[in-house]
Each structure stands twice: as structure tokens, then as C-alpha cells.
Amino acid sequence: MTPLEILSAAIAGRPAPRIPVFCNLLDQGAWEMGVSQEEYYASGEMVAQGQLRMRGYYGHDNVWSLFYVGKEVEFLGCNKILFTEGGAPNVADFVIKSYDDIARLEVPDDITAHPAWTEIGTCLRILKQEVGATHPICAYITASTTLPALLMGMDKWMELLLTGPADIRDELLRKCSIFCQKQIAAYRAAGANVLIYSTPFGSTSFVGMKRFMNFSLPWMQKDLAAGGTAGIVYYCGMAPFNTVIRPVMSELGIGAYYISPMADLAEAKAIIGTKGLTCGVIDDIKMIRWTPEETRAEVKRICELGKQGGHFLFGTGIMPQALSDQNIKAMLKAAFDYGRLE
């Protein structure tokens, strides 16, 4: 079976030789290609080649069309990104500096015609051509309730969210939600089939249950209504969200859940069961100082907790560059070993 077929089998609960194994390597691609991060991320062809080479070398199932998360706000006017060699690029200038900027914020009509799409489009074209028929191609989409953090800074966004003015907050969210919907459509059309929907404010470690129900959930409904939930993975940026799996499942109909290493995986699997796909995720920050044996033991623990009854995937966070090659290999070997299904 191809990795794409293995993923479909895991989602549907059909027999397969093993669980799907996802490994999220992004910035490591620049090393792979022997260029600086800035050069790497300037070229969709580079990013595609980096992804393909890393997949070929390590043998995990998925490739990524994500450059870096800050890229999303380049569509909305941001043109200053801080590149560093040791880690991910960061948004270095906020598009929204005062509430007046919210009224001026413009969502491009056709995002695929925007210059920020050019290289993403190239990257996806290559990925689709090379592995589209056999491997999952992931895309990353920030939820409307989280995108403002990249547009105005997390602290300013928290303030607006919690203390208003409500009309200005909602105007911003409306624009972010439209952008989110356009991204979902564009990535799907370009060949991405796993859409990581990044929604930290959809976790009760960010807002209380009341605000989750009255605020986060309705906005997520808007984000997803037009495009449906095919291929959507619920992801709270690695924040735990077991408390909301039930309402997300019933109200949004999302089928896949990327469980935080800080959450109780057994509990999550018990809630999701055969109704969806549980993704068991390793703590790749702790992994930095683990020995390969320790890494292997943790993978074993995760797989054994999750793989009973199928509907399970093994995955990572956004793998830090500080991880050793040895540890990444140990992790993947263990995932293929312990992820075997009878």
C-alpha cells in the first residue's frame, strides 16, 4: 500500500500493514539544500526539493507545502520577516498597528493571483507531480480566531479579544475568516489533501469553556462551512484540547485530531474511538535531550496507547532544528516497528 492508501485506511478503519507516520520537518530543508533559510524560502522549487529529499532520506509518509506560518500574513500586507539560521522565520512587523488598520485590511480577491502565492503554487505543483498520487501533501491553515496574533501580535490580540470593542474585533475576524476559507479552497485545488487547521483559541487552555462555545466554535463554523471538513485536521498549535473533542466532533464534524503531548492520549483515543482519526504526537522538544533508546521507548508508549482498534496516526510537532539526525531516525524506525498492524 502507498502511504496515501495507508492514511485512507487509518481514517476509514480499513485493514493496513501499519499506521501512518508523519514527521514535520520544515526549516531543516535549507540544510538539506545547502542554502540559507532566506534563499530557501524564496523559492518554491527549493522548498519542494527540500521536502522530497528529506522524505526520501528519512522515509516518513508526508510532505509539506508550508514554508513558515508567517507567510500567511504576507497575503495581507506584511513584508518584513525575520530569518534566523537556527529556527523558524518570524513575523517582524505587524500589519495592524492601530485599530484603524483593521478597516484598511484587505483580503485579496483571488489569493492565487497574489505574489505571495507564486512560490507556494510552484512548490505544490512539484509536490503533486512527484508524490501526489502516493503520499499525503500537508498544508497549514490558520483559523480566523488565531490569525490576528500574526497581524497585530498576540498581546494586542488578547486585549482586543477579551476587552473589545466587539465591533472592531468582529470586523477583523470576519476578514480573517474569509481569508481562511479562501486558503482552504486554494490549497485543496492545488493538490494538498491534509489540511492542518491551526486553532489554538479552540483549546480550553487558551479560553474557558464558555468562551469556547460562544466565541471560538461559531467562528470555526464560519471558517469551515463553505469548504467542508474533508482532510481537515484539528490542531491547537500543540496545546491540549481533550475537553472540546466532543463538541468539535458534533458541531464541526471534523474527523482528525492532532493530540498535544501534554494531553492524555488514552483519554483522547477513548473519546474519538472509531468515529475519527486520533493522532498521537511525540514531545519533540523533550526529544532534543533524549537518547535514541529513550526516544524509541516513548514512540513505543504512544503507539501502544493508540493503535488498538486502528484509526490512529503517529506524528510530531514542528520538529526543532536542534534534534539530532540519530534521534529522528530512531523515532521513525520505532514508529514503523511499533506501528505495525496485524
Partner 1 sequence: MLDAIIKAYNEAVFETDKDAAFEVVAQALAAGMTPEDIVFNVVIPAVEEMMSHITKDPDANLAQHFMTAQIASAVTEKMLEKFQHPPETIGQLVIGTAFGDLHSLGKRIVIGCLKAMMVNVIDLGVNVPAERFVDEAIKHNAQVIGISAMMVHSAIGEEGCRKVRRILRERGLEDRFRIVVGGAPYRFDEQLYKVVGADGWAADAVNGAKVIVDMIREVKAL
* List of residues contacting partner 1 (CB under 8 A): 82, 84, 86-88, 90-92, 153-155, 158-159, 162-163, 204-209, 211, 238, 243, 261-262, 283, 285-286, 288-289, 320-322
Contact 35, 49 (CB under 8 A): no
What's the closest the beta carbon of residue 228 comes to ligand B12, in angstroms? Answer: 22
Q: Which is nearer to partner 1, 162 or 166 (CB)?
A: 162
End-to-end CA distance of the chain: 15
- CA angle (25 as vertex; 237, 305 as ends), nearest 5: 60
CB of 198 to ligand B12, least distance (A): 5
Distances, alpha carbon 54 to alpha carbons 29, 39, 58, 126, 332, in Å: 7, 18, 6, 15, 13
Q: Is the Cβ of residue 37 or residue 181 nearer to ligand B12 in the bound state?
A: 37
The residue from 20, 44, 50, 70 that contacts ligand B12 (CB under 6 A) is 70
Stretch of 167-175, 266-274, 313-321, 330-338 lying at the interface with ligand B12 (CB under 6 A): 313-321
What whole-number distance in Å separates Cα of residue 164 and Cα of residue 166? 4
Which of 59, 87, 121, 191 contacts ligand B12 by CB under 6 A? Answer: 87
Residue among 201, 212, 284, 196 nearest 239 (CA): 201
Binding of ligand B12 by 26 (CB under 6 A): yes
Which amino acid belongs to residue 127? L
- Burial level of 109, CB count in 10 A (0-12/13-18/19+)? exposed
CB of 84 to partner 1, least distance (A): 5
User: Between residues 151 and 190, which has the closer beta carbon with respect to ligand B12?
Assistant: 151
How is residue 303 written as a grid cell?
A: 503507539
Cα(3)–Cα(1) distance, integer angstroms: 7
Q: What string marks each residue from 30 to 69 as x (binds ligand B12 by CB under 6 A) or -?
A: --------------------------------------xx
Nearest CA-CA partner of 72 in 12, 146, 157, 18: 146
Interaction of residue 146 with ligand B12, rule CB under 6 A: yes
Residue 68, binding choice from ligand B12, partner 1, none, Cβ under 5 to 8 Å by partner class:
ligand B12
Q: Which is nearer to partner 1, 178 or 239 (CB)?
A: 239
Q: Which is nearer to partner 1, 187 or 314 (CB)?
A: 314
CB 289 within 8 A of CB 326: no
What is the spatial distance between Cα 78 and Cα 68, in angstroms, rounded to a whole number? 13
Query: What does 142 interact with, of ligand B12, partner 1, none (CB < 5 to 8 A by kind)?
Result: ligand B12
Which 272-311 residues touch ligand B12, going by CB under 6 A?
A: none
Backbone dihedral angles phi then psi of residue 238, each to the nearest 5 degrees:
80, 10
Using CB under 6 A as the binding rule, the residues of this chain from 89 to 108 that contact ligand B12 are 90-91
Instruction: Give the x/- contact pattern for ligand B12 in 185-214, rule: CB under 6 A.
Output: -------------x-x--------------
Written as nine digits, the cell of 54 is: 528529506
Cβ of residue 125: shortest distance to partner 1, in angstroms? 30
Distance from C-alpha of 165 to C-alpha of 163, rounded to nearest angstrom: 7
Query: Identity (one letter) of the amino acid at 129?
Result: Q
Question: Which 220-259 residues touch ligand B12, going by CB under 6 A?
Answer: 237-239
Spell out the residues 6+ positions from residue 103 whose beta carbon is closer than 8 angstroms to its own. Answer: 171
Residue 150 touches which member of partner 1, ligand B12, none, C-beta under 5-8 Å by kind: ligand B12
Among 95, 149, 244, 272, binds ligand B12 (CB under 6 A): 149
For residue 268, is it left (φ>0), alpha (ψ between -120 and 50) or beta? alpha
Residues that bind ligand B12 (CB under 6 A): 26, 68-70, 87-88, 90-91, 142, 146, 149-150, 154, 198, 200, 237-239, 317-318, 320
